[in-house]
Homo-oligomer: A and B are copies of this chain.
Amino acid sequence: MPLAPADDAFANRLGKILPAETLRPAEPRFLEEPRGRWTSTATWVALPRDVDEVAAIVTSCATERVGLVPFGGGTGLVGGQLHPDGPAPLVISLERMSAIRAVHPQESVAVVEAGAILADVQRAAEEADRLFPLSLASEGSAQIGGLLGTNAGGVNTLRYGNARDLVLGLEAVLPDGSIWHGLKRLRKDNTGYDLRHLLIGAEGTLGIITAASLKLVPRPTNIGTALMTVPSPEAALALLALARGQLGETISAFELLNRTGFDFLAETLPDLRQPWNTAPDWSVLIEIGQSAGSDPASALEDVFAEAFEAGLVSDGIVAQSVGQSQDLWTLREHIPEANRRIGAVSSHDISVPLGLIPDFITRAGAALAALGDWRINCFGHVGDGNLHYNVFPAAGRTPEDHINQRDAIKACVHDLVHELGGSISAEHGIGRLKVDDLERYGDPAKLAAMRAIKAALDPKGIMNPGAVLRA
């Protein structure tokens, strides 16, 4: 049975049971996504202020079979926050539920609402002398609800895990309008199926997360940063193993960079000062965070010395000040912007088993060369096996010149990732962009289980219809 639209008549009925101003005509910001690939068919947005209002909204949608699309900070890259076709859904934004309900420094826990912006949660943790380690480019606008709905990754995953690893408990509204009061602050709780991990990463298709208990960690006070030139991706992996042996879990980030990224920076952002005239083919940006009394710069110099002996690094800079450290990170953080300015033919957020990264890079490059002449910017969180593998036109050509090759490029990269036991969506999720890919590459038994779970928890199919699983 098809869904009914969230039209003016529905809005009129729903508006009567909600406080004034809760239901509004949807502004354009709720109908667009960063890459401009889709626009939503929605015309109404609900802006509840507490979990009971969320429950009332979900209940109405369930009763009337109206689709409901949760919208966080709107920063998702796979279209999970938009519904581009079919009956208009109701958009629900929790931006008015942005309270940091409590911070418990002694427990290293923060309890926050889903509409809280990541940067605000980071700040609240810091004020309590703790760290909330989730960190990514969009942290100034991404909301906790969206970050958990998509199980966001980011730069500190190597040390602290993905978003799901930072959650102790959830409050959520399930597709039948019932409220799950699961906002526990417990490190150990074995009382039945882990509904928390089922909702995290379900991209709003199994319910709406309204609040979360988040793990905080000790704030590393002494930060060290280094940029080291490595002869190859193999050497980068050996350097990671060596650094882990010396530094234990204090490595917060281990980012592989390649020459194309620096060339793009030089071409599009020439004011950014680079530490070399000619960038090396491969380099690694390392960050470590240690506790008081340590000397991270010296620890990184020790790693460099041993790695140099072993032929794993040929050159390097260890930041001697916070300013130098920031300069190194500024380079890394501007690579996505440089990529945008150059314009990719096809971008891929993939992961492969760590040990197969060199194999992947070699084989993907060879396979793509058979399709044409490309500039490939392969960079990313190599400590997690997560590469952003982006394919650009040769100099002098534009992405539009290759528009007909996009699908072939994507299939070429994803087929290889799949063959190597990797993931075609390491950190961005499935959304609407990768529904086909999930059907193509996903394990059939897992897909069948996912569909059974979706049908069991959301039998009317109202929750973010068409995201993750075909509606």
Cross-chain contact B445 with A189 (CB below 8 angstroms): no
**Residue A184 at the B interface, CB < 8 A?**
yes
**Residue A385 at the B interface, CB < 8 A?**
yes
Cross-chain contact A187 with B157 (CB below 8 angstroms): yes
The segment from A90-98, A113-121, A268-276, A422-430 that touches chain B is A422-430
**Residue A158 at the B interface, CB < 8 A?**
yes
**Residue A162 at the B interface, CB < 8 A?**
yes
Q: A108-B354, A174-B448, A190-B430 are in contact. List 6 more A-B contacts (CB 8 A).
A: A109-B353, A174-B449, A186-B421, A192-B442, A193-B198, A453-B453
Q: Which residues of the partner chain B approach A220 to less than 8 Å between Cβ atoms? A: 248
**Residue A143 at the B interface, CB < 8 A?**
no
A158-189 interface (Cβ within 8 A of B): 158, 161-162, 164-165, 174, 178-182, 184-189
Query: Assembly of this chain: how many copies?
Result: 2
Cross-chain contact B180 with A468 (CB below 8 angstroms): no
Docked complex Cα distance between A430 and B193 (Å): 10
Q: Which residues of the partner chain B approach A151 to less than 8 Å between Cβ atoms? A: 190, 194
**Residue A241 at the B interface, CB < 8 A?**
yes
Q: Which among B184, B385, B423 is the interface contact of A190 at CB below 8 angstroms? A: B423
Cross-chain contact B248 with A189 (CB below 8 angstroms): no
Across the interface, name the chain B residue whose C-beta is closest to A434: B191
Cross-chain contact B198 with A194 (CB below 8 angstroms): yes
Q: Which among B218, B354, B448 is the interface contact of A178 at CB below 8 angstroms? A: B448
- Give the shortest distance, in Å, between A23 (CB) and chain B (any CB): 24
Docked complex Cα distance between A81 and B201 (Å): 31
**Residue A250 at the B interface, CB < 8 A?**
yes
30 residue pairs A–B, Cβ–Cβ below 8 Å: A104-B355, A107-B353, A107-B385, A129-B245, A151-B194, A153-B188, A157-B188, A158-B187, A164-B197, A174-B445, A174-B449, A178-B448, A181-B445, A184-B421, A186-B352, A186-B426, A187-B385, A187-B386, A188-B351, A188-B385, A190-B201, A191-B430, A191-B438, A192-B446, A192-B469, A193-B198, A193-B206, A194-B200, A247-B291, A453-B453
Q: Which among B157, B158, B353 is the interface contact of A104 at CB below 8 angstroms? A: B353
Across the interface, name the chain B residue whose C-beta is closest to A447: B192
Quick one: given A220-B248, A449-B180, are A192 and B438 in contact (CB under 8 Å)?
yes
Docked complex Cα distance between A469 and B441 (Å): 33
Contact with B along A350-364 (1 / 0, CB 8 A): 011111000000000
Docked complex Cα distance between A424 and B351 (Å): 38
Q: Which residues of the partner chain B approach A249 to less than 8 Å between Cβ atoms? A: 217-218, 249
Cross-chain contact A248 with B291 (CB below 8 angstroms): yes
